[in-house]
Amino acid sequence: MPQEKHQYMSNVWRDDIFSECLKNKVVFCTGGAGTICSAQVRAMVHLGANACIVGRNVEKTENMAKDIATARRGAKVIGIGAVDVRLPEVLQQAADRCAQELGSIDFVIAGAAGNFLASIDQVSPNAMKSVIDIDILGSYNTVKATLPYLRESASKHKTDGKTENRNGTGGRIVFVSATLHYAGTPLQSHVSVAKAGVDAMAMSIAIEQGPRGITSNVIAPGPIADTEGIDRLSKKENRERSYKAVPSGRFGTVKEIADATIYLFSDYRSRVR
């Protein structure tokens, strides 16, 4: 269902602010049919980018792509289903199709993830392996499949953060992590281990690929309201108590994650007037 702008991004981002920076740029997103990732992609499309989202569920992914395309007249959004990020060859095919049909891959959101509630004694070896494979290997496979395209984009769209860059940005990755492993979270040992690995990977990529113009960052959402994750992992009757543990007294929102994504993918500092 088409959404109002305020539902997926803040009004501080004017519709024309990134018209040159994002026009004809391409976002590739794993887990793109999910509540958080779809908001991230929708915001980028609203501001001028085109996109390719991938996911395991064919119908859900294709329908979400059509829905995201309503964010901007003329937007091109591809939805590729039946993509398991644990299978590098399938993910490579999706990345290649994205680049062929949309012209490039300039921005990557690695958002595919797996999670459930279980104590360490309840988590089977297969369950632990599955979460690690989806989160860590899935992120690795995403990087491997898109890195050549990101290097090409970074080379074309160089920015030094000082001079005005009319050509926009490119060659940027955002990993969607979590805060669970910062201080330990009950019933989340499996995903805590996986997200810690994702964080480590993101830092290594930033150091290795930075000289080539590629940036690598992590967005680590805490509890985000009205998402599939919060509905699955948190009981409604316990949420009032959970709010009290958050300094702001509320859960985060998907548009706050989208706002952070816009900032990390933009050359906003040199475009402020």
Say which amino acid occupies 229: G
pLDDT band at 246 (very low <50, low <70, confident <90, very high): low
More confident residue, 160 or 220: 220
Residue 28 backbone phi and psi in degrees, to 5: -115, 125
Does 272 fall in a domain?
no
Which of 66-75, 190-199, 223-232, 252-261 is least confident? 223-232
In a domain, 7, yes or no: no
Report the pLDDT value the prediction gives residue 227, as an integer from 0 to 100.
63
Residue 140's Cα: distance from chain center in Å?
A: 14
Q: What rounded mean pLDDT belongs to the chain? A: 88
Tally of structural domains, the chain: 1
Give 267: exposed, middle or buried? Use CB within 10 Å, 0-12, 13-18, 19+. Answer: buried
189 in a structural domain:
yes
Let me know if residue 87 belongs to a domain.
Answer: yes
Structural domain boundaries enclosing 210: 16-266
H/E/C letters for each residue in 157-222? CCCCCCCCCCCCCCCEEEEECCCHHHHCCCCCHHHHHHHHHHHHHHHHHHHHHHHHCCEEEEECCC
- Give the integer Cα–Cα distance in Å for 260 and 218: 10
Per the structure block, which two tokens stand in for 268? 């906003």
Angstrom distance (rounded) from CA 25 to CA 135: 26
User: Does the residue 273 lie in any domain?
Assistant: no
Residue 2 lies in a domain: no
- Assigned domain for 57 exists: yes
Q: What is the CATH number for 51?
A: 3.40.50.720
Q: What average pLDDT does this structure show over 186-213?
A: 95
The pLDDT assigned to 269 comes to 39
Residue 105 — very low, low, confident or very high, per pLDDT cuts 50/70/90?
A: very high
Tens of pLDDT, residues 87-101 = 999 999 999 999 999
Give the pLDDT confidence score for residue 253 in this predicted structure: 87
pLDDT, position 272: 37
DSSP 72-133: STT--EEEE-S--TT-HHHHHHHHHHHHHHHS---EEEE---------TTT--HHHHHHHHI
Q: Is residue 9 part of a domain?
A: no
pLDDT beyond 60 at 271: no
Tell me the per-residue pLDDT of 10-56, one tens digit each, with 9 for 90 and over.
Answer: 888 877 766 667 888 999 999 999 999 999 999 999 999 999 999 99
Catalytic residues: 177, 195
Q: What is the pLDDT of residues 203-239, one digit of tens each?
A: 999 999 999 999 999 999 877 766 665 555 555 555 5
